[in-house]
Structure 1
Amino acid sequence: MPPLSRSGKGQSRPRLANPAPLGLFGFALTTFVISCYNAGLFGVAASDPINVVIVLGIFYGGLAQAAAGILEFLYGDTFAATAFTSYGAFWLSYAALSIPWFGVADGYMTGITSSSRAEYVFSRAIATYLLAWTIFTLIMTVGSARTSIALCFLFCLVTLTFVLLTVGEFGQFLGVHRAAGFVGVLTAVVAWYNALAELLDSQKRPLFTLPLGKLSSSAAVDDESRTLHGSEIQQ
């Protein structure tokens, strides 16, 4: 049952929940699964079918995370809204790249007679795609510098993961690609930590709390802004 808050007219209305744990959990779980494939953990490999990753990319890493981002827009948290909606779009676009129905890979076969040439062109396109997300993530890492140590560390790991994926794709280095998988697993663990910390912090009487390491007073301002926007939405 959702917690209740009192309106000015004495009526009880449901209080909006903190969407950050949902966004972080969606990012963490999807990142963990695909990173296990990239690293070759638990009996799966990057060359195996990634159907489970596609499903997660659509529903949890994609739609659920994007929904969390939209709610963050309502709360007035620009950074979280940008991060969740953007990475939700990343997972949706990644799923579209992997689904034959969208015809993305087949489109590179048009007008190219050599299959090896088509594979090369498609590989370069994927590498450029990853490079663009690397640049975006680096920008977001700069933006996270005044949030918390835990969140900033998370974005540093996400940046490193994208850098390794980009280098591995451009050079077709299997070792670098696998290293990206191991870093991605660590990234997922840190994202889970942030998600659990946010989840516990949103409870009135949590069993325990996890430190995030606030870096500046801006975090307190963001919390106040979230509360004010939440109150306005409920009215």
Structure 2
Amino acid sequence: MTEQKRANPAPLGLSGFALTTLVLSVFNAGLLSQGSSVVVGLAAFYGGLAQLLAGILEWRAGNTFGYTAFFTYGAFWEWYFVTSMFISGVTAQGVGLVLIAFGIFTLVMWFGTFKSNLGLFATFLLLWITFFLLGIGSMVSSTALIHAGGYVGILTAIAAWYTGLAMVVAEALGTNPPLGRPIMK
């Protein structure tokens, strides 16, 4: 009996992360000032649930990096959802601390991309910068740092979306995805 081909869960996880990050980052950058509550539903389902599912599928495929990344960022979006919907009295400094902690996690995960493709390397590089800008901006109440974090977050979303969608399109066309060579061999 032959094993059935399984879909790659990474494009789902990257797309859920990218779209949710893009929408929140537009508000963080100050490009839109009303309607930020739309992020809450995305955080629960596309940023959160879809990434949790992608993480479980990466675990099943034996991909420790993909499992850890998708499950962690899926849990981040679920935290964002629960905090936004059900927890009152959250301070900007508390949120800043969480964002900085995720920045530290992402910085360490970024080292794991050095032998991966350039798309993933850029996504994690931009993401840890985003987390630190937003976290420090929240801790010191700096609108300028939060706006900067929003703009870097937009770039992060673009890099993640490109990486995930390049995989989908390449598979559909029967080619290798144009994701760039690893920075380390």
TM-score of Structure 1 vs Structure 2, range by shorter chain: over 0.9
Tell me the TM-score normalized by structure 1. Answer: 0.73
Across the aligned residues of Structure 1 and Structure 2, the Cα RMSD in angstroms comes to 1.8
Q: Which residue in 2 is equivalent to 1:59?
A: 45
Q: Distance in 2 between matches of 1:186 and 1:172?
A: 23
- For the pair 1:96 / 2:82, whether they are aligned, the reply is yes
Q: Which residue in 2 is equivalent to 1:78?
A: 64
- What are the within-5 Å matches in structure 2 for residues 1-235 of structure 1? 7-8=1-2, 14-41=4-31, 44-45=32-33, 48-99=34-85, 102=86, 104-106=87-89, 122-203=91-172, 205=174, 209-215=177-183
* Residues 58 and 91, structure 1, Cα contact 8 Å, conserved in 2: yes
Deviation at 1:201, TM superposition (A): 3.4
Deviation at 1:138, TM superposition (A): 0.8
Deviation at 1:147, TM superposition (A): 1.1
Deviation at 1:205, TM superposition (A): 2.8
Cα-to-partner distance string for 1:46-99 (whole Å, 9 max, x where unaligned): xx3422100000000000011001000011110011000000000000111110
Gaps of at least 5 residues in structure 2 are none
Cα-to-partner distance string for 1:148-188 (whole Å, 9 max, x where unaligned): 22211110100110010011011100011111111111111
Q: Distance in 1 between matches of 2:4 and 2:173?
A: 15
Aligned partner of residue 159 in structure 1, secondary structure: helix
Residue identity (%): 42
Aligned partner of residue 8 in structure 2, secondary structure: coil
Deviation at 1:144, TM superposition (A): 1.4
Most deviating of 26-35 and 149-158: 149-158
* Residues 102 and 131, structure 2, Cα contact 8 Å, conserved in 1: yes
Q: Distance in 1 between matches of 2:124 and 2:143?
A: 24
Structure 1 consecutive aligned stretches of length 4 or more whose deviation exceeds 6 Å? none
Which amino acid is the alignment partner of residue 62 of structure 1? G
Q: Distance in 1 between matches of 2:170 and 2:184?
A: 18
Which amino acid is the alignment partner of residue 147 of structure 2? R
* Residues 28 and 187, structure 1, Cα contact 8 Å, conserved in 2: yes
Q: Distance in 2 between matches of 1:152 and 1:216?
A: 11
What is the count of residue pairs matched by the alignment?
185
Cα-to-partner distance string for 1:95-116 (whole Å, 9 max, x where unaligned): 11110xx2x224x6xxxxxxxx
Which amino acid is the alignment partner of residue 179 of structure 1? A
Which amino acid is the alignment partner of residue 213 of structure 1? R
